[in-house]
Structure 1
Amino acid sequence: MGKAERAANRRGYFSRLFKLLSEYPRLLIVSADHVGSKQMAGIRVALRGKAQVLMGKNTMIRTALRTKLGEMPQLAALLPLIKLNIGFVFCGVEPAEVRDIIGEHKVPAPARQGVFAPVDVFIPAGPTGMDPGSTSFFQALGISTKIVKGQIEIQNQVHLIKQGDKVSASAATLLHKLNIKPFEYGLKVEHIYDNGSVYSASVLDITDETILTAFRSGVSSLAAFSRELALPTAASAPHSIIEGFKYCAALCLDTDFVHVR
């Protein structure tokens, strides 16, 4: 690729990024580790009409954002997030809906040597389908086995790989022999950008019901606190009135006093 062609591609990328930033005030910053081109194509198709995915080299993204800071200073919030293997998903619908669509496109993957395990990996107890000639392989890994009906059977569930540990060659080989694909890979939402503000991806788990439950809990706590202090508030007044009526009714019963209500 010649210098002129690279410059043209760069201008084209900048133009597309700026257009998307002006059209979509909300975007997801996603990590794309271990995501293949076929998988990415499937995600783009699923998001059609709802969101647009833009990947690119970090250096190019940073350069593009810096050239736009004069017009859109709020983009400065994105600069610290441009690291490792990231991309942007520009949201035309609610970010939570986009996140859910992305989550539906994870694919099972084998454990490859040297990869850091994203989850704990367990091998269940039971038959393996492997012949007795492979017994020494299990012994080298410290896995207790026995021979049942001409095949190796694992006696107890094995915690083969801990989350965050590197996958060893022997562990990767064993999982391959057992045809176990313990990992799932896909785009992972790391942050949300909304008109210059950046939030953790966890805010997408906050629903209307979550907010309502928290509000109810707050009102209940305020009412209890107000009653303890004998300080009438909008939250405590209904409880105080009901309690006062109960005391009044009890007093009337004790004194045989009849009241209208």
Structure 2
Amino acid sequence: MSHDRNPSQWKVEFVNNLSKEISNSPVSAIVSIKGLRNKQLQSIRRNLSSDMKLRVVRIRLLMKALDKTDKKNIKSLEQFAQGQIGLVTTKLAPSKLYKLFEGTKEKAAARGGETAPDDIVIPEMTTNFPPGPMISEFQKAGIQTAIDKGKIAIKKEILYVKKGEPIPKDKAKILEKLEIHPLTVGLDILGAYSDGILFSREAISITEEQIMLDMARAFSQAKELAVNAMFLVPEIIPQLIVKAKINAEYLALESGFVDESNVQLFILKAIREASALNNAMGNQQEEEKPEKAKEEKTEEKAEDAASDEDKVSEGLGSLFG
């Protein structure tokens, strides 16, 4: 930009160009670029398809561009403009754009100050560092070390930063040296516009599989409700017929009403009841056997005792007879 150019003029041109891009693109999406380094941002730009543009924008200039754009409901897109943002214009549907950006995310090192997305753990490992100044750095960080085959080894796994806590700069340096990348970076869609409709991140993050599952669940619940309410629609008539047949058969069995259509059920019922009765009688007989055996044994003992008494009497008679 030349120094003699009016500083406000480039803003006017930027807003006009941005407004034209929004007008000429079926889909416009606001994305968060927070945490992205310039190198990563340039890499993302290079990998975008030719019909897709990414601009880093200031919120105030974006709002001016939206004001100048003659599209139904487009100004409402500004509600998603928060923090460090970019604007993507494309022909790709919002849901497909979300899927594309999610697939291009990559792990990145922390620089310090970021919030830990998960617990950051340093595992037990042998590093590539020879004995030297790194030992004292590890010790300052509370990491237990030893020397293993000429390399610094971390002796014990350590929870380095808890989930949700800020990552201090000194700890970020240690993590980077250990090639532990706790962050996931990429373009995060905050909201999108297509054909007069606004889409939140939550709406476009729903997958086709999830939609199919939700539809199947809703259909099943609707069928169950219709059956219980006896609301006749073609989808549940076969189910109602089956239910009515089962109820009729049960009622016939309970009332003893026999005809050609249900005689087999009565035969099966009789067989089942006879089998149950037979089992019950068999169990009763099994229970009676020990009692009978016990009684017989008692009788045998009584007979033996009587026999012994007779023998004693005979012996006494021979002595005093």
* Fold in common (TM above 0.5): yes
Name 1:53's counterpart in structure 2: 54
1:243 alignment partner, SS class: helix
User: Do structure 1's residue 257 and structure 2's residue 256 form an aligned pair?
Assistant: no
CA offset at residue 20 of structure 1?
Answer: 1.8
- Find the counterpart in structure 2 of residue 227 from structure 1: 227
Counterpart for residue 205 of structure 2 = 205
Residue ranges of structure 1 left out of the alignment (5+ in a row): none
Residue 244 of structure 2 aligns to a residue in which SS?
helix
Measure, in 1, the Cα distance between the counterparts of 2:37 and 2:176.
20
CA gap of 1:193–1:156, structure 2 versus 1, over 3 A, is farther
CA contact (8 A) 1:117 1:163 kept: yes
Q: Following superposition, which runs of at least 4 residues in structure 1 exceed 6 angstroms of deviation?
A: none
Displacement of 1:89 after TM fit? Answer: 0.9
Which runs of structure 2 are paired with 1:27-38 in the superposition (5 Å)? 27-38=28-39
Matched-pair contact (CA < 8 Å) for 2:94–2:204 = yes
Give 2:275's aligned residue: none
TM superposition shift of 1:241: 1.3
Return closer, same or farther for 1:107/1:205 CA change in 2, 3 Å cut-off. closer
Alignment partner of 1:117 is 2:116: yes
1:216-257 residue CA offsets vs partner (Å, 9 max, x unmatched)? 2112212223333444444533311122234556759x8350
Structure 2: gaps spanning 5 or more residues: 263-321
- State the SS of the aligned residue for 2:73: helix
CA distance in 2, matches of 1:209, 1:4: 54
Q: Which moved more, 1:221-230 or 1:87-96?
A: 221-230
Could you tell me which amino acid in structure 2 is paired with residue 106 of structure 1?
K
Larger Cα-atom Rg: 2
Answer yes or no: is 1:65 the counterpart of 2:54: no
Report percent identity of matched pairs: 25
Give 1:23 deviation, angstroms.
1.8
* More contact order relative to length (CA 8 Å, sep ≥ 6): 1
Aligned residue in 2 for 1:179: 179
Q: What TM-score do the two structures reach when normalised by structure 2?
A: 0.67
- Is 2:81 aligned against 1:82? yes
* Correspondence 1:133-152 to 2 at 5 A: 133=132, 134-152=134-152
Q: 1:127 to 1:107 in 2, by over 3 A?
A: same
| Equivalent-residue separation in structure 2 for 1:140 and 1:183 (angstroms) | 23
- 1:191 aligned partner: 191
Alpha carbon RMSD of aligned pairs, Å? 3.2
Tell me what 2:10 maps to.
9
Q: Indicate how the Cα distance of structure 1 residues 209 and 186 shifts in structure 2: closer, same or farther if over 3 A, else same.
A: closer
CA distance in 2 between counterparts of 1:171 and 1:213 reads: 43
Contact kept, 8 Å, 1:220 with 1:235, in 2: the verdict is: no
Q: Write 1 or 2 for the structure with the bigger share of helix.
A: 2
Give the TM-score normalised by the residue count of structure 1: 0.80
Q: 1:124 deviation in Å?
A: 1.7
Paired residue secondary structure (1:181): coil
The Cα shift of 1:77 comes to 0.7
Q: Compute the displacement of 1:150 (Å).
A: 4.4
Shift of residue 92, structure 1, vs aligned partner: 0.7
Stretch of structure 1 that moved more, 2-11 or 94-103: 2-11
Per mean C-alpha deviation after superposition, the further-off stretch among 240-249 and 184-193 is: 240-249
Note if contact 2:19-2:68 (Cα within 8 Å) is conserved in structure 1. Answer: no
Would you say how many aligned residue pairs link Structure 1 and Structure 2? Answer: 257
CA–CA distance in 2 between the matches of 1:208 and 1:178? 39
Distance 1:3 1:119, change over 3 A: farther
2:154 maps to 1:154: yes
Q: Are 1:77 and 1:196, in contact at CA under 8 Å, matched by a contact in 2?
A: no
- For residues 165 and 208 of structure 2, the distance between their equivalents in structure 1, rounded to whole angstroms, comes to 38
C-alpha distance in structure 1 between counterparts of 2:113 and 2:66, whole Å: 34
Q: Judging changes above 3 Å, is the alpha-carbon distance between structure 1 residues 8 and 130 closer, same or farther for their aligned structure 2 residues?
A: same
